[in-house]
Every structure is written in C-alpha cells, then in structure tokens.
Structure 1
Amino acid sequence: MRSFLKFFLASLLALVIFFVIGFLILLGIAGKALSPEKVVIDPNGVLVIETSQPYAEQKIVNPLNALLHGEANEIPGLYDVVRLIEHAATDDNIKGIYLKTNGNPNGFATTEEVRKALLEFRKSKKFVYAYGEGISQQAYYLASTADKIFLHPQGGLDFAGFATQIMYVKGTLEKLDIQPQIFYDGKFKSATEPFRETKMTEANRIQTSAFLGDLYGHYLSGISAMRKLDTAILHRYADQGLIQNAQDALSHKLVDGLKYDDQVMEVLRAKLGLKKDADINFVSLAKYESAADYRDASGENKIAVLYAQGSIVSDEGNEDVLISSEKYLQEIRKLREDKSIKAIVFRVNSPGGSALASETIWRELELAKKVKPVVVSMGDYAASGGYYISCMADSIFAQPNTLTGSIGVFALLPNLQNFFKNKLGITFDGVKTGQYADLGTATRPLTETERKFVQNAIDSIYSTFKARVIAGRKLSPAVVDSIAQGRVWSGVQAQQLGLVDRLGGVNEAVACAARMAKVSSSYRLREYPAVKAPLEKLMKTLGNDVRTSMVKQELGEQYSLYRQVKRLQEMCGEVQARLPFDMIIR
C-alpha cells in the first residue's frame, strides 16, 4: 500500500509539473505571437485584398492562428478596412492594390463600403488590378472598380441576376404533430411565414420583389459606370444567360483579359518596373493593419463609434456577435456620462431580435441623445429590432443596399402536446394555483382567452414600436402605420419614406457627428465595445473550437439542421422584432 501511494504521488507530481511547464511555455509562445514586433512596409508594396474574406464590424482577434503559425493575429474590421485603403492612397510605399476576387461572403452594404473606398483609392492615380478563377456576382461588384479585370482562361464569371429562397417547414411540423401558435402584427411581417405557410404570401412576394429589384438596380448601375456598359445591356446578359464561360465574359467586355496566375504576376511586375521573376512585395490587409498608423489621434475631443452586430438578446449571450441589452445598456450609459465623448456614432448591423431588449437599448440611447448627438450608421441590416434601436437618432445613414424597416413584431409559442403523445408516447399532468399559471407551456394548446392575452401583448408592443418611430422620425401616425406593417425596405426606399436621412457609410456618419458636436476640426475616434484581450480570446477560441468540432463530428450532415433548430429555439417564447427567418440573397 505504501509503495502504491508513493508511486501515485510521484506520478501526480510529475503530471502537475508537466502541466505547469507546458502552460508556461504556452504563455511564452503566446506572448511572442500575440505581441509581435512593429511591422515595417518595404517600398514598392502592393496591398492585397481578398474579397473572399468576411469582415465583421469590429476586428476579429485570432490568437490561435498567431500561436500556431506566427502570422498576423487579427482580421481588420470593416471600418478598419475602409481606413486602411484610404491610408494606402497616400502611402508612398504602396503602389497599388491587387484584388483577389474568387468569392465574397459579405453582405451588400458591407461590400458597398469596401467598394466606395476602392473608388476613392483610384483617385490617387495608383493602380487597382483584379484577378479571379471563379468570380461570384458580389466579388465582381468589387472587381468592377479595378483598372483591369483578369479572369482565369478556364474559369468563370457568375452574372445571372439575384435570387432569394426561403425554406418553409409547415409541412414538416404537421408531420411531427407540432402546432406553431403564431401571433403577429403587420401584414408584411413574414418572419413567421415559414411556420404557417407552404409558399410566399402575396404581401411577402411584393415586398421582396421591390427591395430585391432595388438591390439589383444599384448593382447594375455601379458596374455600368465602371465598365461603360448600359444597364439594359447588362440586364440582358443576365436575363438571356449570355455569360457561360470565361470567353463569354471577355467577349461581352466584363473582363479585360484571360490570364493564368503567372501571367497576371508578369503584368504586375511590368507595372511595378520589376525584372522578370522578381519577388513582388505583396502586403496583406492584416499585415498592413499592423504597420499603418491610420487611426485619427488628434485633438482632445472624442467621438465614440459603438458597434452593434448580430441578433438582439436580453441576456449576455455566449457569442461575440450578439447585441445584449444588458451589455449595451452599460456601454451606452458609460458613453453618455463620459464628458470627453462629444458624440456617439451607433453602427447597427442587425436583423433584430427581442422586442424587450430593443426597447431597453432604445431607452438608453434616448437618454444619451439628450446629452450629446447620436448618429446611426446602418450596415447590411438594420431592420425590425435593428430599426427599433436606430429610430431615435438625430440622423440616420444607410447604404442604398441596406435592408431596413420591418416595423412589426411577432411571437411563436409551439404546442408539442400531440408530438409528445403520438410520436413519443409521453403525456403530462400537474396541478396549478391559478387558471393561467401554466400559460405558455409547450405541452398543451393555448385556450381562446389565452390567445387573446398574447395577441393583446403583441398589439401593445407593436403600438409602442410605432410610437418610437413617430417620435424619432417626426412622422405622422398615419404615415408610420402605412410604411410599417412589418415591411422590409431598401436603403433607397427608406430614405424616400423618411425612415433614413441620408445615404452613406461610417465615414459620412462620423463626419456628421463631428459637425453636430461642433468638433469637426479636431477630434479622436474611440471604438466600443472593447475588443477582448488576446489571452482571454485565446482561451475562449480554444473552448469554442473544441465544442463546435465535437457537435459537428457527432451530427455530420445534420449540423446545419441543428443550427436551424437553435435559431428556432431563440425565437420561441419571447416577443420578437426580427427580419424574415433565414433569408439568403445570392
């Protein structure tokens, strides 16, 4: 027994020492990787922008990549990308931009921000060249800013027009004996449509056709201006399916040449005045972000840029891209009480979420507005709850292809009684001290009286939502009622209706806030929420990666269904102000 204890304690001690030493080594490596030396950009550099890179509103810290590969540990946020491109225009070490345009997962307004920055860059007379093997429509929208667009000889260019498709699950729920008890206000409020219909309602088809047409029209106009091709001609290319291969793209003047990668490199070398086979000084955005001093740091006055991206929720949530009312209440209050902050730019990129959480954030912004200017900059979406938290602003900016409005609310309370009984053989029984003590339980249907209770609550919240818009936008109740009804609008339509003040991006919103605060000549930008410290992010990344990997491995091809169910779970039980469920435009 004594020898066993001796052996056990020795093994335990060795294990503890091993983990302590391993942890110290990890900290040492992480310290080196997460605190790199100052990067210097050599002359004759070419800034590389990969359009396949998704950009969040704030930079994404990726310490695991830095730890394992020693590469840059951050992906610049969207506004960082815009400012980096602006900085490159005046940087003597950057001679031009090389766009690698194989895809673009970013939304329409995000793409618009980057595209506008590229067009501004071209005014510097530096070159912009684009190359892709298979160029998607959204990637081509960025590529169209280039002096020259090259396409792989055996590659392709997608130019077929826009389409959106919604998955309807009413039939599935019927097969499972699940009854979705649905309540909503607004005839265009289509977020619950997949649960109560088997195809698009006429109202949803009308609104979708309208904003999709606006998005496509803006897309064609942008390409038309750069490629010197009439929008009617471009529309004919798509409508008649004339762009089927690389040669078609060249013949119809959508690209300037068909080249392999090595041939494009020779074009770049010639442009830079380099010898054949000389190395090109390519500079990634992540590397440039580490080297460039592009943030405005002059002046004592400060303007805060507060980013709000993702679904709006009442609790803290587990993801970085969630707008927690609890968290944002504290953030906004801090900015309101900080006298050095002269104005707030609220950057909203959200399809909405909890109506109650939206009201909480609205209230805190309304208090801030009484103390200092509040300007909203809308991203890809600022709809439903996303519009709720925007409508009180002194001024609202949106891109032409932002999706906004959707002023309406809904609630979804599933009745699983028959599913449990008929499919699983499970029944429920119990006692209660009040007639409505178990209102909302998923194990029985609502009574007619209970349904009236829920609908009354929906009506009340919808009325409050419209009242916030009436007060914030200074519109009549009749006008707001006519443009509400849950209808989704493009940025162009929203400006015409008075839901948005001006078309523009973050730069325009910041400039407006500076003017309103009377600090246009001298101010510094401060960005919130604060990005997590690298080590904290590393620990969270490791945990999330392991958990996600295990779930994916266990579910395999059913992982996407699992995510759908998780999103459905988020929508149940709480009154929602949210965009149509899982709407994807390609």
Structure 2
Amino acid sequence: MKQFFKYVLATVVGFFLTFVLIIFFFSIFIASTISGLQEQQVTNVKPNSVLHIQLNYPIKERTDDSPFENFDIFNMEPQITLGLDDILKNIQKAKDDPNIQGIYLDLFYLRAGWAQVHEIREALLDFKTTGKFIKSYGEVYTQRAYYLASVSDKIFLNPEGFVQFNGLNVELTFYKGALEKLDIEPQIIRHGKFKAATEPYFLEKMSEANREQLNTFISGIYGEIIKNISSARNIPEEELRTISNELLADNANGAVQYGLVDSVYFKDQVLSSFRSELKIGKNDKINFVSLKKYRHSPSKESYQKNKIAVIYGSGTIVSGDGDRESLGGDRVSKAIRKARLDSNVKAIVLRVNSPGGSSIASDVIWREIVLAKDVKPVVVSMSSLAASGGYYIACPADKIVAQPFTITGSIGVFGILFNAQKLYNDKLGITFDQVKTSEFADLGNTARPLTEAEIGKFQKEVDRIYDSFVNKVSKGRDLSYAEVDSIAQGRIWSGIDAKRIGLVDELGGLETSINIAAEMAGVEKYRTISLPKKRDFKEELLKNILGEAKALFIEEELEEYYSYLKKLKDILKLEGIQMRIPFDIELK
C-alpha cells in the first residue's frame, strides 16, 4: 500500500510539474510572438491619406505594453489599443503630416472618461486649424461619442441609428443592504462634516446634502458640454437643452431635423463622400491608415538633450510598487526622484488620474514632489479624476492644470474597519479566542467590534491627518486654513469650479501642462520622456505568468461590467485610514 501511495504521489507531482512547464514555455512562446510582432516595420503613409480613428476600447492614460493586453489567443497576435498619450501624439503628428488630408472618426461607443474625451476633442480642434477636414460616421452615437463627433465638418448617421443625447446622470452604489445580509458592520471614523464620503456604507440612498452637491456638480459639467456643442454645431444652447429634455434626436430623421447630424448615410455613401473630398474616382481605393499603424510612421521629432519628464500616476494609491490598476507610492516616488536628479530633465509634469487611496503612500509621493519643486518646475496635469489623495499629491506643485470635466477636491480623511463577528459566529460557526500582552495588541481585528478606546485612537489619527491635509493644501495653494477648510470637508468639484475657488490654476490638457512646464523652465527645444519606465513585458510575464493573464482576460470578457468587480475588490481593500473619494462617480 505504501508503494501504491508513493507511485500516486509521484504521478501527481509529475503531472503538476509538467503542467507548470507547459504553461511556462507556452508563455515564453507568447512573449516571443508578441515581441516579434511589436517590432513592426515603419509605416509609410501614402499621399492623400486619411487617418482612421476608432476608439471602441477602454482608453488608458498610457499605451499598455503588457503581453496579455487584448491578446487574441486564437490568432496568436496582440490587438494593440493605444493609450491617451499615443492618441494625442498621433493626432498632433497628423496635423503636420502633408500626406494626411483629414480624419475619419469611426465612432459608436467610447469607453473613456469625459475628461479624456474632451482632451481628444481639443486635439481634434487643433488639428482643424490647418484647414484639414474631419468627418464622422456612426450607426449610433452615444453621448460621449457625439460630443467628440461634434467637432467634425460633417457628421453622418446610419438611417436606422439615433443620437443618445439625453443629459447626464450620476449613479452611486450603496452597500448597506449587502453588508447587513452578510452580517458585516462597517465601523466608520470620519472628520467633522465629512459624511457624504461614507454614505454608501450606512445609507441606502443619497442624503439631501449629497444630492444637492452632485446635482450642482453635474449641472456645471453638462453646461460646458452644451456650450461646446452649441459652438461647434451653431445651435443655440436652449435649443440643445430642449432636444435633450424631449429626446428629439432618438431617431435618424430627428437628428437631422434638429441639426445634430448633417446627413443620414449608409456606409457606402460615407465612403463616396470621402472620395469626393479627396478628389479620386468612385472606384478608387481610399488610403485609410489606422491609428495603430500610423503610430509607426516616421516622426519629424529631432533628438534634444533637454527633457520634460511626464510622470504617470493612475489608479488607487497604494503602498509599494502597485500593479496595472493601482498607483504604487514607491514606484511613482522613485520616478519623481529619478527626474529630480537628472540634470537634463528641466521640468516635471505629474499626470494624475486617481481617486486617492492610502494616506501614507500619498504622503510618500507628496514628499518627492516637494523635493523636486525645490530644484525644478513641477506642473500637475489632472485627467478624469484627481480627488482626495489624488489632490494631496498635486497640491504642492507650482501649477495645477485640470480639464473642465475633471473630478477633483474631496479633501478629507476617513477610516473604515469591518466588524465581521456575526458573520464568523452566526453564519459560519467560527469563533476565535486569544491572549495578548497589551490592550491594543489586536487592534484592527475583524472578529470583534472596536472598543471605545480604539475608536478614540482612530478618531485622533483621522483628525490629525485631516489637519495635515488642509495645512498642506493651504501652503501649496497659498490659501488660509479657514479658506481650505470651507471648500474641503470631502466635497468634490469639477475642474471649472476648482479653478474658480483656487484649487487649480488653469484649464487644459496634458499638452497645455507640458507647455507651461517648458515655459517655466525657460526651454524652447526639448523632448518629453514618460515615467515610470514601462515594465519589460518578458520580465513581467515571467514574474507573474498566470495572475496578470487572468486579470486581463477577465477584463476583456466582462468589458464594461469589469468595473463592478473592481469596485468589490476595492471595497475589500478599504482598511485603515484613507484619503480616497470613497464612492465611484460615473457620469452617464
């Protein structure tokens, strides 16, 4: 019998090792395949070409070079999706490219934040200053897609399509009922008026104060959207509001009648329009070049010794290096330090797209910004979100630039610990017992509620960190403590309102921030570098063969529903004192 078990064990171990080796070599094969595919030849753009832009994927701040990002396992090739950095760079390149005559916006559904969409839209408006054309076509235009398309010289819509032009709404997720069903008690410690931040954990709907705050917030953003569409389409703002309120563009004829689109066309008619614009025959091939191919076309940029470092910080702020979905305090602070110590880097632009997170990790990054500011200009560029800890790391910068649609502010601190005693005892039948050497030896134990003494300790720390937060904003923004406190208390602000109350200096995108940084540094000729340095994908693959692949494949399959899974994961990580906008605001 012993011999039998020995053979069984050997078989199991052998099978496991074989499986691991297969996965290992298969992953190496994938990495090598991608490496070969990514070493593409330069794309030669033919004269009289049109840049074809499709944005039907989640747009991230930087192009992701992960080996599994959108990898088509059946065709053994990566489906390259460009980040916002490359999208903007290539639109700028096309503007000055004599071979590019115009842009074709092939639109339907945009999986990007409003601030990102606005930044692309601004780049397209700049492209049009050369006199080149932009034409858009969509079977259906979602609201964000239409906002982007509104810059076009001509907007075409499928005869059976419609324009989703129906206003904005904000939907918050509340967890009180779910936590009660699980017998989990959220133990919340907050400062002063900072209540809306933790509402999702103890309420089933918004408080009136929070509802009023969010209504003011989205009304301001919607006003900006209406204003910009009105300017582009020459439709009075009040008329646009009527179209939106009464859903007058819910079919193709209505969209044409009220001026939202120019023509109702099938795809072949759209292509004929391009041929007419390019002055080619009706059967001639149109030289469309996709963004991902145009990325590899020759650039006129010359090598410059002087550099502007663009440092990207995206995701929830966490201690350590973080991962593809988080902003690692150590990784970003190292990048800032590297740029500070490099004498050829004349200025730093910190690009922030973060809801905040760990107060300690935020402070680590804040310190490096302060040190960098002492030796060279530091400018912050805010993307869709730069709130709470995201604002904390921004406040010491020389200049802060935000988009009109940026969600920022949320200057506040809260602590949350979950008491799962009833879950363990009543639902799972698990009990715990212990011995300890001092009163606070088991501080943070989820198997019991906090004691009054422990709550007092946490409250004192939350108040201290809030006081430190307000003082740092006060110093960084040259405002009094009372002024900051009056606009803090966890309240969120749009970029427009943040500029009005002094939390940001300018409205604009990444390019605006880089120009400001270069001007402050006194350099005219320079090149930009991106930090932190992207991880070598072969190293990353060997480091985490299955974990990274699993996350990426799950995201690809779940698409927009992946955000709900991510929310759940983030909730489970909400332990200790946080500088974070604690509810996810999605403008729909």
Please report the TM-score for the alignment, with normalisation by the length of structure 1: 0.91
User: CA 1:513–1:290 in 2, change beyond 3 Å: closer, same or farther?
Assistant: same
Partner of 2:527: 524
The alpha carbon displacement at 1:558 in A equals 10
Q: Which residue of 2 aligns with 1:535?
A: 538
State the partner residue of 2:264: 258
Q: Could you say which residue in structure 2 is the equivalent of 1:351?
A: 355
Cα 1:128/1:70, change in 2 over 3 Å: farther
Structure 1 window deviating more from structure 2 (44-53 vs 230-239): it is 44-53
Query: What is the CA-CA distance between 1:537 and the residue it aligns to?
Result: 5.3
Q: Which runs of 5+ in 1 are unaligned?
A: none
Give the distance between the partners of 2:221 and 2:468, measured in 1 at CA: 30
Query: How big is the shift at 1:395?
Result: 0.6
Could you say which residue in structure 2 is the equivalent of 1:288?
294
Which residue in 1 is equivalent to 2:318?
Answer: 313
1:576 & 1:524 partners in 2: Cα distance?
37
Give 1:256 deviation, angstroms: 0.4
Q: Structure 1 residues 67, 579: closer, same or farther in 2, change over 3 A?
A: same
Q: What TM-score do you get using the length of structure 2 for normalisation?
A: 0.91
Q: Matched residues in 2 for 1:214 and 1:134: separation?
A: 26
1:117 maps to 2:123: yes
Say whether the 8 Å CA contact 2:41–2:296 is kept in structure 1.
Answer: no
Q: Which residue of 2 aligns with 1:226?
A: 232
Q: Post-superposition shift, 1:450?
A: 1.2
- 2: CA distance, partners of 1:585 / 1:120: 26
1:461 matched to 2:446? The reply is no
Equivalent position to 2:36, from 28, 32, 36: 32
C-alpha distance in 1, partners of 2:23/2:461?
55
Query: How many residues were matched structurally?
Result: 575
Q: Is the 8 A contact 2:382 2:401 kept in 1?
A: yes
Q: Could you tell me which amino acid in structure 2 is paired with residue 543 of structure 1?
A: L
Deviations 1:60-104 (A, max 9, x none): 226454897587764333132222112212211111100011011
Q: Structure 1: which amino acid aligns with 2:224?
A: H
Give runs of aligned pairs for residues 40-439 of structure 1, distance below 5 A.
Answer: 40-61=44-65, 63=67, 65=71, 74-185=80-191, 187-293=193-299, 296-317=301-322, 319-439=323-443
CA, structure 1 residues 118+553, in 2 after alignment: closer, same or farther (shift >3 Å)?
closer
**Matching residue of 2:583:** 581
Task: Describe the SS at the equivalent of 1:140.
Answer: helix
The residue type equivalent to 1:194 in the other structure is P
Q: Is the 8 A contact 1:72 1:287 kept in 2?
A: no
* 2:33/2:76 contact within 8 Å kept: no
Secondary structure at 1:331 match in 2: helix
Return the offset for 1:550.
Answer: 8.6
Show CA shifts across 1:522-577 (max 9, x none). Answer: 222111111233434565796346534897999999987654331111112x2111
| d(CA) in 1 for partners of 2:42, 2:224 | 41
Query: Is the 8 Å Cα contact of residues 27 and 541 (structure 2) preserved in structure 1?
Result: no
Change (3 A) 1:423 1:168: same
Return the letter of the residue paired with 1:92. Answer: P
* Paired residue secondary structure (1:153): coil
The letter of the residue matching 2:584 is: D
Structure 2 residue aligned with 1:443: 447
User: Which whole-Å CA distance do the structure 2 matches of 1:95 and 1:555 have between them?
Assistant: 38
- In structure 2, stretches of 5+ residues that fail to align are 1-6
> Which residue of structure 1 aligns with residue 3 of structure 2?
none
Is 1:473 paired with 2:474? no
Alignment RMSD (CA, Å):
3.0
Give the AA of the match of 1:259: Y
**Is the CA contact (8 Å cut-off) linking 1:34 and 1:63 kept in structure 2?**
no
Q: Deviations over 1:346-369 (max 9, x none)?
A: 111111111111011001110111
Comparing 173-182 with 23-32, greater Cα deviation is found at 23-32
Contact 2:62 2:82 in 1 (8 A): yes
Change in 2 beyond 3 A, CA 1:29/1:243: closer
Amino acid at match of 2:197: A
Change (3 A) 1:331 1:433: same
Question: C-alpha separation between the residues in 2 aligned to 1:77 and 1:393?
Answer: 25
Residue-by-residue CA offset, 1:22-71 (whole Å, 9 max, x unaligned): 88876764443121222211222110111323321111226454897587
- How far is the alpha carbon of 1:381 from its aligned partner? 0.7
Q: What is the CA–CA distance in structure 2 between the aligned matches of 1:174 and 1:312, rounded to whole Å? A: 28
Report the identity percentage. 43
Does the 8 Å CA contact 1:345/1:377 hold for their aligned counterparts? Answer: yes
- Which moved further from structure 2: 230-239 or 61-70? 61-70
What do the CA deviations read for 1:140-168 (whole angstroms, capped 9, x no partner)?
00000000000010011101100011121
Asked if 1 retains the 8 angstrom alpha-carbon contact of 2:31 and 2:67, the reply is no
